[in-house]
């Protein structure tokens, strides 16, 4: 069978910049190919690098691709904040295509029946990991015989609970050749923050034992952590290095250090293979899993950046989202990384319940006091279906409202919990927060790049300003 997979487009005001890869669809594509199917991935984000943020051009190109490839099955990757894009694409594609349309990913996993009701063009949705069921669907098996598949027959929707892949090492490496790798491997500031490296991202574990109130991880990948073995990871890294000219890897596991023994083995194998002389790498980890020994190993293996979900400087706020970490732990994590000579990028949040401008000021002082190479991105605490936060504070938004771009963007731009209005926050951010984050970013660029790269970055910026 011929399968077309579609990756959604976020709201963008500029050309797309290289970022982490859509690995979920690439893994599905490689398992489908293993089953003898022909697959393409239509990446709406990467298309925005080619066409700029012109949605009409990207839609047109998607339809042309559909008409020339003539798929038998079309599958969408669907995340909650972009579900309006999935809905719009399903509407467009249905005008030209009468075969089965399905969606998978975090959003349909959280609300399978509602997704089928709200996006009437869809025939089915898949909960959990797509690699298990897609080869079955593409071979024409009865959808309802496959775990995690929900199917619509007239007004009747039926489905079953998903299963998880017990041994991740059975998966063929993701089909990166179906992506625009020239775009994704272009050196940029996003993939490995402030370090202008040409990189490829990998994910080497799935699932989480924690239950942070805002997170859907356990729904899609389960309540235990499953991991690829060090052998699989090294083989994968070698394959990527043979296929692409890059100088870095990014491991976007929720917590690369969830099993420190495995992490240590991966580092040892990287050094044994001499890869630490050719490439750098970055990881994501929890603050409570860092210690000097593992940091030393990571550093020796070439790790230059650790991204940590510090979330906030307030213990009450950490407790309110059930993070299971403490402010002291966070401080210690930053200190340990500084001593080890590894940069830190902190993911932090705003928009906590009852938050005031004073809280924002305190968070900013906390960020200012943090030493070392410490960059920060601050995002709003978002309320996703399937989470404890949605059950308590979501006000049944997705059940009660249309899934349009306006409604959904408005929902995710509104402060639902804090005492600061969106307008006040915006003004405060512009005046106080942004200058500090920019200053930190500049320092990180200066300390994390060679003089030649710095000159190139400045040259590119000037060129952009002149052409704007
Ligand atoms: C890497 C990453 C990114 C990268 C790459 C995006 C991507 N979709 O791969 C970048 C930086 C671009 C990114 C951006 C965003 N991300 Co992001 N990202 C992640 C991260 C850390 C890993 C994703 C991953 O590779 N997972 C591993 C692969 C194997 O799983 P997967 O992609 O989910 O796919 C599997 C299943 O979901 C399913 N599946 C997925 N698609 C389909 C399609 C079909 C047809 C089928 C059958 C099955 C299926 O099968 C796949 C294989 O098992 C996750 C957290 C996490 N651990 O998942 C957040 C996460 C997916 N991101 C999230 C969000 C919100 C975003 C943004 C909307 C942020 C924003 N506000 O702009 C954008 C959306 C961009 C986009 N076009 O999707 C949320 C989604 C929450 C939700 N409930 O929807 C997550 C879960 C983080 C979180 N906890 O909040 N992200
Ligand atoms: S935020 Fe991270 S630690 Fe918390 S539940 Fe999600 S994946 Fe696990």
Give pLDDT tens digits for 287-344. 999 999 999 999 999 999 999 999 999 999 999 999 999 999 999 999 999 999 999 9
Q: Is 459 exposed, middle or buried (0-12, 13-18, 19+ CB in 10 A)?
A: exposed
Distance 184 CA to ligand 2 centre (A): 26
Mean pLDDT, to the nearest integer, of 235-262?
Answer: 97
Contact 182, 203 (CB under 8 A): no
Mean pLDDT, to the nearest integer, of 117-136?
Answer: 98
Distance 324 CA to ligand 2 centre (A): 10
β-pairing, 303-311 vs 149-153, is unpaired
Closest Cα to residue 106, out of 386, 445, 366, 390?
A: 386
pLDDT at 13 over 80: no
Distance 314 CA to ligand 1 centre (A): 28
Query: Pocket of ligand 2, candidates 215, 225, 318, 325: which has the most ligand atoms within 8 Å of its Cβ, to mutate?
Result: 215
Atom of ligand 1 nearest to the CA of 28: 52
Atom of ligand 1 nearest to the CA of 102: 45
Mean pLDDT, to the nearest integer, of 120-127?
Answer: 98
Distance 281 CA to ligand 1 centre (A): 21
pLDDT digit string, tens, across residues 347-359: 999 999 999 999 9
Distance 364 CA to ligand 2 centre (A): 24
% of the chain exceeding 70 in pLDDT: 100
Mean pLDDT, to the nearest integer, of 44-67?
Answer: 94
The Cα 238–Cα 225 span in angstroms is: 24
Helix (H) or strand (E) holding 309: strand 303-311
pLDDT at 103 over 80: yes
Mean pLDDT, to the nearest integer, of 430-452?
Answer: 94
> Which residue's C-alpha comes closest to atom 6 of ligand 2?
215
**Contact 217 CB / ligand 2 (< 6 Å):** yes
- Sheet of 73-77: strands edge to edge? 38-43, 2-7, 73-77, 101-104, 124-126, 149-153, 156-159
Question: What does the mean pLDDT of the chain come to?
Answer: 95
Distance 268 CA to ligand 1 centre (A): 29
pLDDT at 428 over 90: yes
Give the three-class secondary structure for 316. Answer: helix
**Contact 188 CB / ligand 1 (< 6 Å):** no
Work out the pLDDT band at 180, boundaries 50, 70, 90. Answer: very high
Residues whose CB is less than 8 angstroms from the CB of residue 24 and which lie 6 or more positions away in sequence, other chains included: 77, 104, 105, 130
Q: Which tokens sit at 436?
A: 């500090």
Q: Please state, as a whole number, how many other Cβ atoms lie within 10 Å of the Cβ of residue 434.
A: 12
Closest Cα to residue 125, out of 87, 93, 96?
A: 87
pLDDT at 467 over 80: no
Atom of ligand 2 nearest to the CA of 209: 8
pLDDT at 373 over 80: no
Mean pLDDT, to the nearest integer, of 458-462?
Answer: 87
Atom of ligand 2 nearest to the CA of 286: 3
% of the chain exceeding 90 in pLDDT: 90
The Cα 416–Cα 396 span in angstroms is: 13
> What is the pLDDT at residue 22?
98
Distance 213 CA to ligand 2 centre (A): 9
**Contact 215 CB / ligand 2 (< 6 Å):** yes
Mean pLDDT, to the nearest integer, of 157-180?
Answer: 97
pLDDT at 468 over 70: no
Work out the pLDDT band at 94, boundaries 50, 70, 90. Answer: very high
């Amino acid at each position: 069978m011929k399968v077309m997979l579609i990756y959604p487009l976020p709201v963008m005001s500029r050309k797309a910049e290289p970022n982490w890869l859509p690995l979920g669809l690439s893994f599905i594509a490689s398992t489908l190919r293993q089953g003898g199917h022909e697959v393409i991935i239509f990446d709406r984000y990467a298309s925005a690098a080619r066409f700029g943020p012109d949605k009409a051009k990207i839609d047109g190109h998607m339809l042309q691709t559909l008409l020339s490839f003539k798929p038998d099955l079309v599958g969408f990757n669907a995340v909650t904040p972009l579900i309006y894009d999935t809905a719009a694409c399903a509407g467009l594609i249905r005008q030209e295509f009468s075969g089965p349309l399905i969606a998978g990913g975090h959003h349909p996993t959280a609300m399978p029946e509602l997704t089928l009701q709200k996006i009437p063009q869809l025939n089915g949705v898949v909960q959990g990991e797509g690699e298990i069921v897609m080869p079955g669907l593409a071979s024409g098996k009865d959808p309802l015989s496959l775990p995690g598949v929900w199917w619509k027959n007239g007004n009747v929707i039926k489905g079953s609970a998903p299963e998880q892949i017990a041994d991740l090492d059975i998966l063929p490496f993701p089909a990166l050749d179906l992506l625009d790798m020239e775009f994704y491997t272009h050196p940029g500031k996003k993939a490995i923050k402030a370090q202008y490296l040409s990189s490829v991202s990998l994910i080497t574990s799935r699932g989480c034992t924690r239950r942070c109130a805002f997170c859907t991880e356990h729904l899609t990948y389960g309540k235990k952590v499953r991991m690829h073995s060090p052998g699989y990871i090294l083989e994968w890294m070698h394959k990527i290095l043979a296929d692409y000219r890059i100088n870095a890897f990014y491991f976007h596991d929720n917590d690369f250090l969830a099993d420190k023994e495995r992490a240590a083995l991966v580092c040892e194998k990287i050094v044994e293979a001499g890869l630490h002389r050719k490439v750098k790498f970055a990881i994501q980890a929890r603050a409570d899993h860092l210690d000097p020994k593992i940091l030393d190993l990571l550093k020796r293996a070439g790790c230059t950046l650790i991204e940590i979900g510090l979330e906030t400087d307030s213990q009450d706020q950490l407790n309110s989202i059930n993070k299971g970490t403490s402010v002291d732990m966070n401080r210690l994590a930053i200190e340990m990384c500084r001593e080890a000579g590894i940069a830190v990028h902190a993911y932090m949040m705003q928009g906590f319940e009852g938050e005031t401008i004073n809280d924002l000021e305190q968070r900013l002082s906390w960020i200012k006091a943090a030493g070392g190479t410490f960059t920060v991105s601050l995002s709003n605490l978002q309320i996703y279906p399937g989470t404890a936060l949605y059950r308590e504070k979501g006000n049944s938004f997705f059940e009660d409202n249309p899934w349009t771009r306006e409604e959904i963007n408005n929902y995710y731009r509104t402060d639902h919990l804090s005492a600061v209005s969106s307008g006040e926050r915006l003004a405060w951010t512009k005046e106080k927060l942004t200058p500090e984050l920019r200053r930190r970013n500049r320092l990180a660029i200066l300390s994390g790049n060679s003089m030649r790269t710095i000159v190139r970055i400045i040259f590119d910026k000037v060129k952009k300003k002149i052409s704007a």
